[in-house]
Structure 1
Amino acid sequence: MPLRLLLMILIGHGAEAQLYTFYERPHRWSATVEAGGISPVLAVNAEYSLFQTGRTFTVIHLGIGHTFTNYSLHSLPHALTLNYLLNRRKPRCPPPIGEPKQWFLEVGAGGLVFNSPKDKEYYRFTPIIGVRRYQTARYTRTRYFYKAQFTPLILGKLLPWGGIGLGMIL
């Protein structure tokens, strides 16, 4: 009888503890600030993670940027990327809320729409390759990430370009 009682207490406590774990719900939204990357100079973006699996997740990236040129002051960067976990220590950690210090390879494609172009080329397409690193802020459960991307702008020719970004999971 005491063994059954002990098992019931332990199983009940374990089930209750799982409700309050770090993995209790998938975090889908994040906000980022980027310098370079898809947007030529600066951009503020919202990102939404469509689906998450054990090692990968996809991100839809939408934002508004500033180009600081007479060509077009504002731009609308957008992208769809697939992120693949590079350093896996524990099984079944759903990204991007898993263990701290996760590195992801980011591969995808994106574009940039200019609001008032002076010529007929108002849309720019670019492939994206980069890395993301997720971390947890000390003494809190706030998750943030930083990323570096290589985004060669295709304007009839290949131009090397890149950018860095800092984001927070909402």
Structure 2
Amino acid sequence: MLEQDRIIGEVGEGDRLLQSWITESQVLLASRCLGIAKFALNQAIDYGQMRITRGQPLTRFPAVRTMIATSITEIEAGSLLVKESAKHVTNNHENGPYFAKMAKRYATDVAFKIIDDVLQLHGGAGYTKDLPFERLYKELRFARLEFLNSEVINNDLAERYIEKML
């Protein structure tokens, strides 16, 4: 039996508290992942402007520009999803956990893809300890597992959507 001063919240409300903390953490993690993605993309652009190949900076090549355009679009879309989920969670809306899961899944997937592209752009130098990308890659890989992994989130999202349709 726990002492009264060791109890957080009301007795029997532990599951609800835990779920609300996980929901808030998913939103925070999503925001952090998008920040990491934006940082890595900016670093890649700086490198791409400096790195000359075939007589021009890497950022002048269509494939690199496509990667940049795709990345900024996905970061902005993720930011909108994070803002929407934060609004729902802050207002204790019933859809808060639903949006938080979507934001977490989308942001971690996007950030992981962007880090992968950034490593590709940097070539072997991206894996050196001199640059932060190897560490960020590992952090983002772990982030995909934190506060429910993508497979569990996908199942939860699909189940809720299907229930709403029926």
User: Is the shorter-chain TM-score for this pair beyond 0.5, marking a shared fold?
Assistant: no
Higher strand share: 1
Which fold has the larger relative contact order, with Cα–Cα distance below 8 Å and residues 6 or more apart in sequence?
Answer: 2
TM-score by length of 2: 0.28
TM-score by length of 1: 0.28
